[in-house]
Amino acid sequence: MKFHFLLTQDLSSPGGLGRYLPWAKELTRLGHCVRISATHSNYKALHRKKLVINDVEVEYIGQMHVLKKGSKKTYYSLLRFVWVVLNATLRLSWAAMKYPTDVIIVGKPHPMNGIAGILGSKRWRCLLVVDVDDDEEYSGNFRHGWQRKIVGWFQKKLPIWADQVTTNTHYMRQKLQGFGVPLSRVYYLPNGVEPARFPPISAKKIIALKNKLGVADKKIIVYLGSIALVNHPLQLLIEAFIKVHRSDPETTLLLVGGGESIDEVRSIVKEKEIESSVILIGRVPPEEVAKYYAIANVSVDPVYDDLTARGRCPLKLFESWICGVPFVTGDVGDRRLLAGDPPAIKICKPGDPDSLAASIIEILNNKELADRMIELGKERVKEFYWDSLIPRFLRELVSLRTF
C-alpha cells in the first residue's frame, strides 16, 4: 500500500520525531511505500527540502505556523500568520493531490493538513485517517480566540469525515465519541518508542557530560520536553524542586528543550534564587537526548489535572523507560493505565508541588525502589515498541477496505 502523511510540523519536533516518523518507518519496514509532506519550523534556513529517511520519502513544502531558531520559538504577527497558514494549506493540498496513494494520514486535525487531506482523499478515492494526539483546542498557545475556535471546529468535524481516527489517549477516544464519531472507527494507538534511538550510553560518555555540566557529584532530576509554560507547567516542577533541594542540597535540575518560555523560566529560576542548582540546556539534537536520560536519577513530567494533560500521552514516559530512568508524573488521563500493574512509574497528586517533591525524594533516597521501577519500566516498554504497535494498526486499517 501507499501511505501519505500530511504534517503541520517537522520531523525534529516532539510529535514528528517521536510519533509520525517512527510510524512511517515501521510501515516501510513492513513493505509499504510511505511519503511525508510537512511544514518546517525554519523553512528558509532549510538547505534540503527533499530527503529520504529509512526509505521514507520526506518533502518539506513550506513554513510551519511558528518559527523556531535554536532554542527559541516565536510567533508571527497576525497578517504574517494568516499568510503562512494559507500558503501551507495550498502547498499541502497540492502535495496531497499530486501523489497517488491508498491511505492519507492527517497528523493532527489542523486546518492546513485537514483541508489537504480531504481534497487528497477525494482525488484518489483513498482512505482518510485522522490522528488526534492531543486535545488541540486546549493544548495550543493561541494568540486570538478565533484561532482556538477554528482549530476546535476542525478537531470536532474532521474526524467525522475520516474513515478511521487514531488517538493516543482514552480521554480523546471518549471525546471523539462525543463529537459524533462512532467508537468502531476510533483506534487507540498510544505513543511508542524506537529502541534504535536510545542506545546504551557508555560510562565514559556519562562522566564526560556530567563533568561538562559541572554536576559530577550531583543527583540529577531531568525534564526533557518543550519549555512552554502555556501547556507544560514547569513552574510546578520548579516549586517542587525547591523542596527537593532543601531536603538534599546535592541535587540539580536539568531542563532540556526549547520553546517560547525559556526567558520566562530563566526569570523564575533567578527570582527563586536557585540559579546555581537549575541548568537550562536548551534544545539538543535528537541523537543527544539519550545522554541526558543516562545521567539522570529521576525523569519528571509535571502536570495539572487539566484538559491538556488528559489529552496527552507523554513521550518522555516511554523514553525514560527504555533509558532506565525512574519516571514521576501526576495521576491524570491515561498515566495510571500506562504504568501497568505493578506500576512502572511513580504517580503523584497532579498540580501539587508537595506531592511531586515527595515522590522525587522517595526515589532519590530509596535505591531499591528506583531499581525496581527501572526493571519494571524496561519490561513494560516492550509493549510500546513501534514494531509491535503498527502491525496491529495495519490489521485494523485493512479491515476497513480491500485494496
Per-residue model confidence as pLDDT tens digits over 86-113: 999 999 999 999 999 999 999 999 999 9
Same domain, 135 and 229: no
Q: Per the domain annotation, does 403 fall within a domain?
A: no
**3-state SS track over 149-207:** HHHHHHHHHHHHHCCEEEECCHHHHHHHHHHCCCHHHEEECCCCECHHHCCCCCHHHHH
Residues in a beta bridge with 220? 252
Helix axes 353-365, 367-380, angle to 10 degrees: 100
Question: Which of 121, 117, 144 minimizes the C-alpha distance to 132?
Answer: 117
Same domain, 66 and 149: yes
Give the chain's mean pLDDT. Answer: 94
Query: CATH number for the domain including 104?
Result: 3.40.50.2000
Q: How confident is the model at residue 296, as a pLDDT?
A: 97
Per-residue model confidence as pLDDT tens digits over 336-368: 999 999 999 999 999 999 999 999 999 999 999
Domain that holds residue 253: 196-384
Per-residue model confidence as pLDDT tens digits over 328-337: 999 999 999 9
* Cβ pair 119, 21 in contact under 8 A: no
**How does DSSP classify residue 330?**
E
Same domain, 283 and 264: yes
Same domain, 231 and 379: yes
Q: CB 343: neighbour CB atoms within 10 A? A: 15
State the pLDDT confidence band at 131, using cuts at 50, 70 and 90: very high
Same domain, 246 and 341: yes
State the pTM of this model. Answer: 0.93
State the pLDDT confidence band at 137, using cuts at 50, 70 and 90: confident
User: Contacts by 159-163 with C-beta closer than 8 Å and gap 24+?
Assistant: 159/109, 159/130, 159/132, 159/186, 161/118, 161/128, 162/106, 162/128, 162/129, 162/130, 163/127, 163/128, 163/129, 163/400, 163/401
State the pLDDT confidence band at 403, using cuts at 50, 70 and 90: very low
Same domain, 150 and 166: yes
Q: Is the pLDDT of residue 138 over 80?
A: no
Q: How confident is the model at residue 71, as a pLDDT?
A: 81
Count of domains observed in the chain: 2
Q: How confident is the model at residue 401, as a pLDDT?
A: 62
Per-residue model confidence as pLDDT tens digits over 194-203: 999 999 999 9
Q: CB 70: neighbour CB atoms within 10 A? A: 10
Distance separating alpha carbons of residues 403 and 393, to the nearest angstrom:
16
Q: CA end-to-end span of the chain, whole Å? A: 8
* Cβ pair 187, 219 in contact under 8 A: no
* Cell, residue 127: 482512505
Per-residue model confidence as pLDDT tens digits over 149-187: 888 889 999 999 999 999 999 999 999 999 999 999 999
Residues in a beta bridge with 132? 167
Same domain, 219 and 176: no
Q: Is the pLDDT of residue 41 over 50?
A: yes
Same domain, 229 and 371: yes
**How many percent of the chain have pLDDT more than 70?**
99
